[in-house]
Structure 1
Amino acid sequence: MGTFHMPSLGADMEAGTLVEWLVTPGAAVRHGDVIAVVETQKGAIEIEVFEDGVFEKSLAAIGDRLPVGAPMAVIARPGEVVVEAPVPPVSVTAVETIATAVPPPPIPQAAPVVPVGPGVAARILVTPAARRFAEQSGIALAELHGSGPRGEIVLADVEVRKGREDTLRQAEAVSTAQVMTGMRAAIAAAMARSKREIPHYYLSHTAELAKAETWLAAYNAGRDPASRLLLGALFVKAVAIAAKSYPEFNGHHLNGAFVAASAVHAGVAINIRGGGLVAPAIHDVNRMPLPELMEKLKDLVARVRAGRFRGSELADPTITISSLGDRGVETLYGVIYPPQVAIVGFGTPATKAVVEGDHIVPRRVVSLSLAGDHRVSDGHRGALFLGTIADLLQRPEAL
């Protein structure tokens, strides 16, 4: 038996507000199941459980603002008998209040009987938060399919149906200024810590893209838009493969020592609508086929723009990839997100004049950049790392 604690969802997180439980006492849970939703400066984050067992009881109520490490629930392993023990009070840290889009919903109770048509009634499993939001939005619960552990309709199901655009407008009506102040404060804290603790060094390199773009055009020819690849997928995959060959850029610096990661979990920097930035992870990218990686990228961007992603996606990145290619920026120099030790940037692909012998010829190129942690790596290894990424982009069929 163990106590489930509020996880750390990034170096900039100090606390989160519990807005919804997705399981009830007595429910069986498996590793990776989403059991709760927590509101932070970055949005609503789904919290996953880390072991198999039985959800015995919650130690936190809806609306509680909990610091990282605070007890949230008791998870019993299969066959264990729960022995009641006093639970120490939770000490909430004094940090700025996090604004939420709607008032905290009540603790989930038994599913109500919801009418679905004239003279017809059926039991629909639905959490109180989802029911209330559906009523406010004029959405019929009978038209939804639940994605909760027992098939119940959860808040996310209603949000998807209505569209996050309306939901974000409701959040902004509460206090746009307060929400953005919280987001910017979190980013500022993480970046200030990075510059204070990490001795950065920077490198840049130009990579040719003609072969990658030609291969991409041939791959996409005849495919419907939904199944086509974008150049960004090749960028992420090339970085992941190179990071496997240069492990000093893939891992975390913790307690004064570097710990190389056994897998490449690429954090992809994504802008949040209305401002702010997050870099959630796509797991095991170096072993992922490009079509699957493209689907993961599209799904991740859609959920981040909707303000909905999982805690493990924020806690797991081993290296971050950022691009401002759609903003016309030639070169991007990033700030390392602690406890990571590297960030790779991609600028805007462009056609430039290149001297070859006695001739000037046009070439499609992109500027790569690396911000590295000098405690772990140096410029020599960084140059080899960027060179490997550029070489991989010359062999797109190998990605």
Structure 2
Amino acid sequence: MADFTMPSLGADMDEGTLQEWLVKPGDTVHKGDVVAVVDTSKANIEVESFVEGVVQQLLVEPGTTVPVGQVLAVLGDGVAAAPSPEASVAPPVAAEAPPAAPAVAEVDATKADATKASERPESVRVTPLARRLAAELGVDLRTLTTADGAPIRAKDVRAAAAPSPAAPSPALPEPVHEEARPAQQPSKAEAMRTAIAHLMSRSKREIPHYYLSTTVDLGRALDWLHERNRALDVSHRLVPAALMLKATALAAQATPAMNGFWVDNAFSPGGSVHLGIAISLRGGGLIAPALHNAADLPIEELMAGMRDLVARARTGRLRGSELSDSTITVTNLGDQGVETVYGVIYPPQVALVGFGRVVERPWAVDGLIGVRPVTTLTLAGDHRATDGFTGARFLADIEQRLQHPEEL
């Protein structure tokens, strides 16, 4: 037997809300299979299984918030027992009551209808807000139906809770002013900002940062990029950020001390370069999923992977491993007009690389002054793992690789 638990999908995650099961009792699960969707303070994440076996029990109902490490499902070697018709999710563990006499059972059934108001039948999905409203308003979700199997939403619950037009109208209470209403739950953006605040405060409090910067001539890189793009379809053309990411990944591979984690008062190198890419979300906030094995990807595949990560990050369909595997993070605020960015390290990583806007500056080449496209490259390093000398060599390596784009 093996337990599938609520995973930690980042250093800032303490709990998550199970949104949806993608497996049922009796399904065979392999390592890496996506088995559930979990809502964190940042996004909805597709969670993979790190264990193998046959699903025996699903212990947590969708819509439930549980701490990291709590068991969500049990996997075994054999075939699971057939799920009960009422639901495929096991109820909370409790002592089994003896069978009730018919008269008692009828009374208990009436009570059970009230206590199960927030439950749903297996065939109908319910949004978390609708589930909370049903519990508050005493609406039995089993009595609600939707067209074409659409999920039950808050408006459906409110409609079911409204008094029947044929019923006599009771005396209406005094209207409730907006100020008197209970405080609303924080929005997704507010929850994300709170999570980021806690994590960044911890980073600046615990990690002794040092900062370095250098200016990089991108003339050769952009000339090469222009020529390469002439042979590519518009939808597959490269952008300067792809060259910057690949150069960083290769430099991190060549400087293992910058690529890894500070855990238990010691540095632990990353097995591969899983490049975290800082992505701003449309609703506000920031997320940095990993582009796996970035140093080994051809530049076109790296570009496609970057586009895919951005698209899925903004639609809330990232994988759990993409949020927990990053070994070093890159942030690029050039498209926002920022010339220099000094980042805050994402623990337990030990380095963060920043790229600014590409600008034209007077630049001396072979003793002659001209105008060249340049960018400011920065590093935030963890002084427990490296020092300024190692950081300087790392930045110099990135710069040299950008001078030879044909080798990226």
TM-score category, normalised to shorter length: 0.7 to 0.9
TM-score by length of 2: 0.75
Deviation (angstroms), 1:359: 3.9
2:344 aligned with 1:335, yes or no? yes
Alignment partners' CA distance in 2, 1:373 and 1:109: 51
The number of residues matched between the two structures is: 330
Which residue in the other structure is 2:224 paired with? Answer: 215
Tell me which amino acid in the other structure corresponds to 1:36. Answer: A
Q: Does the Cα contact within 8 Å between 1:46 and 1:309 map onto a contact in 2?
A: yes
Residue 274 of structure 2, aligned match among 265, 275, 299: 265
Q: Does the Cα contact within 8 Å between 1:21 and 1:107 map onto a contact in 2?
A: no
Alignment partners' CA distance in 1, 2:150 and 2:68: 29
Tell me which amino acid in the other structure corresponds to 2:150. Answer: R
Tell me which amino acid in the other structure corresponds to 2:359. Answer: A
2:253 aligned with 1:281, yes or no? no
Partner of 1:38: helix, strand, or coil?
Answer: strand
Residue 132 of structure 1, aligned match among 150, 154, 169: 150
Percent of aligned pairs with the same amino acid: 49
2:234 aligned with 1:234, yes or no? no
Runs (4+) off by over 6 Å = 78-81, 86-89
Which residue in the other structure is 2:16 paired with? Answer: 16
Alignment partners' CA distance in 2, 1:176 and 1:217: 49
Tell me which amino acid in the other structure corresponds to 2:70. Answer: A
1:61–1:332: structure 2 CA closer, same or farther, 3 Å change rule? Answer: same
Q: Does the Cα contact within 8 Å between 1:266 and 1:283 map onto a contact in 2?
A: yes
Which residue in the other structure is 2:53 paired with? Answer: 53
Residue 200 of structure 2, aligned match among 177, 180, 191: 191
Partner of 1:186: helix, strand, or coil?
Answer: helix
1:282–1:78: structure 2 CA closer, same or farther, 3 Å change rule? Answer: farther
Alignment partners' CA distance in 1, 2:53 and 2:300: 34
1:34–1:382: structure 2 CA closer, same or farther, 3 Å change rule? Answer: same
Which residue in the other structure is 2:383 paired with? Answer: 374
Partner of 2:187: helix, strand, or coil?
Answer: helix
Alignment partners' CA distance in 1, 2:119 and 2:239: 41
Which residue in the other structure is 2:333 paired with? Answer: 324
Deviation (angstroms), 1:109: 4.6
Partner of 1:243: helix, strand, or coil?
Answer: helix
Which residue in the other structure is 2:257 paired with? Answer: 248
2:74 aligned with 1:74, yes or no? yes
Q: Does the Cα contact within 8 Å between 2:124 and 2:149 map onto a contact in 1?
A: no
Alignment partners' CA distance in 2, 1:59 and 1:240: 41
1:52–1:394: structure 2 CA closer, same or farther, 3 Å change rule? Answer: same
Q: Does the Cα contact within 8 Å between 2:2 and 2:51 map onto a contact in 1?
A: no
Deviation (angstroms), 1:355: 3.4
Deviation (angstroms), 1:358: 5.9
Residue 345 of structure 1, aligned match among 354, 364, 376: 354
1:275–1:109: structure 2 CA closer, same or farther, 3 Å change rule? Answer: same
Partner of 1:73: helix, strand, or coil?
Answer: strand
1:132–1:395: structure 2 CA closer, same or farther, 3 Å change rule? Answer: same
Tell me which amino acid in the other structure corresponds to 1:367. Answer: T
CA RMSD of aligned residues (A): 2.9
Which residue in the other structure is 1:305 paired with? Answer: 314
Deviation (angstroms), 1:187: 0.2
Q: Does the Cα contact within 8 Å between 2:124 and 2:150 map onto a contact in 1?
A: no
Q: Does the Cα contact within 8 Å between 2:32 and 2:50 map onto a contact in 1?
A: yes
Which residue in the other structure is 2:33 paired with? Answer: 33
Ranges in structure 2 where 5+ consecutive residues have no aligned partner: 82-90, 95-117, 126-145, 155-183
Tell me which amino acid in the other structure corresponds to 2:348. Answer: P
CA distances 1:77-119 after superposition (whole Å, capped 9, x unpaired): 46899xxxx9989xxxxxxxxxxxxxx99464599xxxxxxxx
2:406 aligned with 1:393, yes or no? no
Whose Rg is larger?
2
Alignment partners' CA distance in 1, 2:63 and 2:153: 20
Q: Does the Cα contact within 8 Å between 2:56 and 2:80 map onto a contact in 1?
A: no
Q: Does the Cα contact within 8 Å between 1:62 and 1:107 map onto a contact in 2?
A: no
CA distances 1:370-395 after superposition (whole Å, capped 9, x unpaired): 00000000000100000000000111
Alignment partners' CA distance in 2, 1:183 and 1:110: 29
Which residue in the other structure is 1:159 paired with? Answer: none
Q: Does the Cα contact within 8 Å between 2:124 and 2:151 map onto a contact in 1?
A: no
Which residue in the other structure is 2:160 paired with? Answer: none
CA distances 1:189-222 after superposition (whole Å, capped 9, x unpaired): 1000100110000000111111111111111104
